[in-house]
Amino acid sequence: MTARDDEFTSATGGGPAGPADAGERNLAPATRSAHAPASPRPAVGHARPHESARAQVAGTATYVDDIPEVKGTLHAAPILSTVPHGRLRGVDTRKAQALPGVRGVVLPRDIPGDPILATFVHDEPIFAIDEVRHVGQVVGLVVADTVMQARRAARQVQLDIEPLPAVLDVRQAHAAQSYVLPPVVVRRGEPEAALAAARHRLAGQLEVGGQEHFYLEGQVAYALPLEQDQWWIHSSTQHPGEVQHWVAHALGLENNAVTVECRRMGGGFGGKETQAGHMAVWAALAARKLKRPVKLRLDRDDDFLVTGKRHPFAYDWEAGFDDDGRLTALKLTMLANCGFSADLSGPVADRAIFHTDNAYYLSDVEIASYRCRTNTQSHTAFRGFGGPQGVILIEAVLGDIARHLGRDPLDVRKANLYGVGERDVTHYRMKVEDNILGPLISQLERSSAYRARRQAIAAWNEGSAVIKRGIAITPVKFGISFTATFFNQAGALVHVFTDGSVQVNHGGTEMGQGLHTKVMQVVADELGVPFERVRCTPTETGKVPNASATAASSGTDLNGRAAQFAARNVRDNLAAFVAGLDGCGAGAVSFRAGQVISPKSTRSFDEVVKAAYANRIQLWSDGFYRTPKIHYDKVTLTGRPFYYFSYGAACSEVAIDTLTGESRLLKVDILHDVGTSLNPAIDLGQIEGGFIQGVGWLTTEQLVWNDKGVLATHAPSTYKIPATGDVPEHFVVELWPEGNREDNVGGSKAVGEPPFMLAISAWEAIRDAVHAARGNASALVAPATAENVLRALDSSCR
């Protein structure tokens, strides 16, 4: 018996083998774990419930506002500007401070660090200083013993504001050259010459509205002062690292003095990528001044008024095309309504440029992007991050071309698709190497019976004077990676405990999308243990530092791969240990179904872990991943900003009432590319949810600012998100059966954002129905509310 054999048997409680067993002295029967049943089925690739599903259904899943409050906790509420633009001459807090329970007021003079938030552009004050720039801008805080005391008192603060002219319209801002960032122009070929030579030309305008995130859990942060000027921040955030940086910057501290924790969010959709940082900074400043823990939770109305939305866009375009509807030239002006500060408007507007092509080759094109400053909330990230605002434009253009030529819009779209081996380079000089658009769209065309349905709809419309129907298939090609290349990195920690249970921590955040579940599946399979043996701990800046936001649909790509590498390091340690015991190569040792198998023996994972610990083998490791191949020039917006593309297509059928403008989504068929699905149940949920959220953006969710700059739609009573009744009975989702051609975790593809843009098929179907009613489909703006549909129907009479 070798020393290593002796150490193994001592650690596991076994004795030396007898002479007859000398050749197999370590071949003990595999033992079943007492902690979870071993399953021969891998964790990855199978539908598994969300890791928090049971707790959420039972009401035991903890969100920030559920955390038991430390004794002495106070509550803060914001003091809000009531005018869109003005000179702030004074703040009178006497009435507020005289109210019961009020402990203090926090204003710019109470900021020990930089009074400007630590954004990339450094253009947004923590509290309004000398000037207010939108209704709802936070001027300061009132802090009281209870939430309601703080909110009532905040409304008693008197602001002395001298009104100044306000810019509330994006076209007005463009005319005044009011921008938060310089314009960007991307150009290929000679679009002017191509337009002049085009057989057909068409021009138009389009207005597309914004969208409120409407996360179920509102914005909230809880700041706890610790010893020696250290801080613990509970934040409902998609980017704990940025919250850490912002809080430290405002407090005048180094980042290592601030720890930010997020167990989960009740939804984010991009609205908690940067703007959760405001809540944390405000709560921390109040806690510092009053030397007490402080929680800040916005009510829904204030959340609407304070936080930014999806960027509304306006467009002017002119296109040249041939008899088949194939584009030969495109000139486009995009006006992004950014609100009063830059926030993430630069990369959002950039991605809108990147996705103006969607699935189509643009030979001669010029896109001029203007990032306009208006006196509204500072608009921010939202699912798709500018991509939807690019995709909807090109789909509208192709729809208008089809109607101009009297052709089927699907035929025009197919004529413009990227090719394979030709017409395969984007307008930003990236080659499309993984193109599956042609076969995917053709398969959906067949499975949805598109041609037969279009004929049936035409017959219906001939016989129906009031109710008109429409149908459309639109595709999506969505680039996956942060366009800011340096964000495409991630870290993770995997710990194996001596009982064989596993814990993983990574820099991504859970907002209901199932990221933790997928990461746990990946780790379970890498170690060959049952999924139930793995737990994911809260995201925390003190464990994985400098983590990127959970955004750009890359959460699993980045964090799943980092966790896989960390688990692989532990597995390699264990494999080397077993190889030493059994006299074989480490590569011959496999891990599956809770067992560790070598050519000479089969042991339970738990046995091996205990023995490895007794032999001082490292049972934890870190993992790091950086996305390969990506690069691009952020000045010219050319290069390879994306690792790969996700594809999909949707067929939507709608009906409109020409007397009321009401619309109804009747049928949806989706074929979507998620690569090799890590968890089909979660992926299907993301596709369905993303699609319906997109339908909301394009049909019911209208943001209305009045002429005084007040957001009039600031509550569920006036802002309408889709309800269960808006989901059609016929809602078929199928997955494209092919793995990712790039080396991604498990052969999978991102799924969070791409399905959102499939909802453009519903908007195009409404335009198809408007055209059938002899309305002006080109006049329909987004969202296609009943009022906007009626305007488009009426515009044909003018």
Rounded Cα gap, residues 492 and 789, in angstroms: 50
Rounded Cα gap, residues 785 and 700, in angstroms: 5
Count other C-beta atoms under 10 Å from residue 463's C-beta: 6
Residue ranges of alpha helices (H) inside 124-228 are: 147-154, 170-175, 191-197
Q: First and final CA of the chain: distance in angstroms?
A: 97
CA distances, 101 to each of 74, 79, 668, 772 (Å): 10, 17, 54, 63
Q: Provide the token pair at 397.
A: 């253009």
Which helix (H) or strand (E) is 286 found in, with range? helix 276-290
How many residues are given for the chain? 798
- Please state the separation of Cα 523 from the chain's center in Å: 23
* Nearest Cα to Cα of residue 69 among 191, 220, 275: 220
Angle in degrees, CA 607, 609, 613, rounded to 5 = 120
Our answer to whether residue 753 is catalytic in this structure is yes
* Nearest Cα to Cα of residue 179 among 356, 316, 334: 334
Concatenating the DSSP letter of every residue in 30-96 gives P---SSS---SS-STTS----TTHHHHHHT----GGGSPPPTT-EEEEEEE-SSSSEEEEEEE-HHH
Rounded Cα gap, residues 263 and 271, in angstroms: 17
- Answer for the pair 785, 661: CB distance below 8 angstroms, yes or no: yes
Options 7, 753, 764, 787, the catalytic residue? 753
Phi, psi of 770 (to 5 degrees): -60, -40
Phi, psi of 138 (to 5 degrees): -80, 125
- Please state the separation of Cα 387 from the chain's center in Å: 11
Rounded Cα gap, residues 757 and 760, in angstroms: 6
Rounded Cα gap, residues 282 and 472, in angstroms: 47
CA distances, 40 to each of 239, 529, 533, 535, 591 (Å): 37, 9, 14, 19, 11
Tell me 777's DSSP state.
G
Rounded Cα gap, residues 144 and 114, in angstroms: 25
- Please state the separation of Cα 372 from the chain's center in Å: 23
Tell me 779's DSSP state.
G
Rounded Cα gap, residues 710 and 135, in angstroms: 6
- Answer for the pair 643, 629: CB distance below 8 angstroms, yes or no: yes
- Answer for the pair 701, 211: CB distance below 8 angstroms, yes or no: yes
Q: What residues form DSSP beta bridges with 640? A: 631
- Answer for the pair 534, 523: CB distance below 8 angstroms, yes or no: yes
Known catalytic residues are 753
